[in-house]
Amino acid sequence: MAGLRVEGIEKAFGRGERAVRAVCDLSFDVADREFVFLLGPSGAGKTTTLRTIAGLEQPDAGRVLINGSDMTWAAPRERNVAMVYDKNSLYPHLSVFENMAYPLRLQRLAEPELRERVMGVAKILQIERMLERRPRELSGGQQQRVAIGRMLVRRADLFLMDEPISHLDAKLRAHMRLEFKKLQREFQSTILYVSHDQLEAMTMGDRIVVMNEGVVQQIGPPRTIFDRPANRFVAGFVGEPSMNIADCTLEDAGGAATLRFGHQRLALDRDWLDAAGLGNAPARALSLGIRPQHLSLAPQAEQGAPNVIRGEVYAAETLGSETILDVEADGVIFRAWIRNSALGRAPAIGEAIGLQVDPRAIYLFDRDSGKTLAFADLSRLDDAHALSSPSPLIH
Ligand SMILES: Nc1ncnc2c1ncn2[C@@H]1O[C@H](COP(=O)(O)OP(=O)(O)OP(=O)(O)O)[C@@H](O)[C@H]1O
Ligand SMILES: [Mg+2]
């Protein structure tokens, strides 16, 4: 049984005016055998949180409970947590094998089992041919895998991982994503994994804790985070390419309900608006959000039709079978993800173009607080799958 509970953690660095509030009133839990992600941009407070749980940093307030025991003030070695440290923490004078075996030698594990565990992990990490080498005879990515291996050979209650694969190349990252998931099932481990990569979190996590500027934004399973983001930050952070977000005004004076920004007008579904409690109210400042997968090219003849954003091609990035089209409309760049088969010839920069908006795919946010006021109506989207799955982009 291994569970983690973090309660009301506060941590600031420095004092007075120059103090940085790295973590503010942070609470979440990780159940036994759960794989939870701490996801957020650089400076969100992820590493600080992990170091506090490992006992390498002391919180200004709050508690850390491991397996139900208060470990807030316990020494790191009393906590039975395994953390992946940087590759620079490898012992330079020891071989790869001995580096990985080190924690097991400390536990005085019998040689045959020690060998079996190291070899098993080395195979998964694809370093079994390098076991006799010293760390300096390896590439940076190989060293990082040894550091991961040294953690995985242990059977800890709780594994803490701080961006363990962010320095590996794309192909190895994809391999490791699958392997971590498999390992977690096999070893039945409890893992808290820090990342700024939403694709990792979406594909591996049972649940995701999204953080920004030290504050929890949302906690939930990947699908919920993606389909029902609690606020504009989460909506924009999760998904690749990111959701398009633009300031707009909602006008609903009876009859048609319209979203306006600049010269653009989008007609909204009345039932949807009423269900969100936004209908028949004075004009209101909002932000709209729409994922690039839900913008399509408007046929030439329909460029004056409703729900078409009219603009100019700003950039076009052609990938294998899709093109990411950046269209500038009233000072806002909208990204559209268009299948090459629907595109025909490559559009020219500066060319006038219309993007068809599916009004059921729109999210509405309060402009000031960022809170989500209306969610896209996924059940009524023809292509709901595209919205509900993480990007197929390999990166
Ligand atoms: N030892 C320290 N002294 C002063 N400020 C610090 C210290 N460690 C972290 N900070 C600050 O606390 C904030 C959170 O840092 P933290 O390292 O936890 O972020 P992070 O989410 O891990 O970011 P990244 O994705 O870049 O690793 C940042 O503003 C950082 O500058
Ligand atoms: Mg960090």
What is the 23 CA–ligand 1 centroid distance (Å)? 9
Q: Which residue lies with its CA nearest to atom 30 of ligand 1?
A: 43
Superfamily of domain 4-226: P-loop containing nucleotide triphosphate hydrolases (3.40.50.300)
Which helix (H) or strand (E) segment is 169 a member of? Answer: none
pLDDT at 148: 87
Q: For 316-327, what is each residue's pLDDT tens digit? A: 998 888 999 999
What is the 213 CA–ligand 1 centroid distance (Å)? 10
Q: Which residue lies with its CA nearest to atom 6 of ligand 1?
A: 13
Short-list 3, 160, 7, CA closest to 72: 7
Domain with CATH 3.40.50.300 in the chain: 4-226
CA distance 60 to 12: 7
- Which ligand has the nearest atom to the CA of 46? 1
CA distance 264 to 309: 6
Residues with CB under 6 A from ligand 1: 13-14, 20, 22, 40, 42-48, 196
Cα 345 to the chain's mean position, in Å?
A: 34
pLDDT at 394 over 80: no
What is the 144 CA–ligand 1 centroid distance (Å)? 21
Q: Is residue 314 helix, strand or coil?
A: strand
pLDDT at 301 over 90: no
Residue 104 exposed, middle or buried by CB count within 10 Å (0-12, 13-18, 19+): buried
pLDDT at 80: 86
What is the 63 CA–ligand 1 centroid distance (Å)? 20
Q: CATH 2.40.50.140: does it fit domain 232-388?
A: yes
The answer to whether 239 touches 391, Cβ cutoff 8 Å, is yes
CA distance 108 to 167: 32
Residue to probe by mutation, ligand 1, list 21, 42, 47, 57, most atoms within 8 Å of CB: 47
- Residue 86's pLDDT band, with cuts at 50, 70 and 90, is low
What is the 14 CA–ligand 1 centroid distance (Å)? 12
Between 38-42, 85-89, 182-186, 212-216, the lowest mean confidence (pLDDT) is in 85-89
Encoded tokens for 394: 């390999």
What is the 58 CA–ligand 2 centroid distance (Å)? 16
Average pLDDT on 218-226 reads 97
Domain with CATH 2.40.50.140 in the chain: 232-388
What is the 229 CA–ligand 2 centroid distance (Å)? 23
| Minimum-distance ligand 1 atom for the alpha carbon of 50 | 18
Short-list 203, 179, 210, 205, CA closest to 192: 205
Average pLDDT on 266-271 reads 89
Residue to probe by mutation, ligand 1, list 46, 51, 166, most atoms within 8 Å of CB: 46
Q: CA angle, 255 as apex, 253 and 258 as ends, to 5°? A: 65
Q: Which residue lies with its CA nearest to atom 7 of ligand 1?
A: 13
Q: Which residue lies with its CA nearest to atom 14 of ligand 1?
A: 45
Average pLDDT on 211-231 reads 97
Residue 77 exposed, middle or buried by CB count within 10 Å (0-12, 13-18, 19+): exposed
Encoded tokens for 114: 């020690």
Q: Which residue lies with its CA nearest to atom 16 of ligand 1?
A: 45
pLDDT at 253 over 90: no
Q: For 174-220, what is each residue's pLDDT tens digit? A: 888 888 888 788 778 899 999 999 999 999 999 999 999 999 999 99
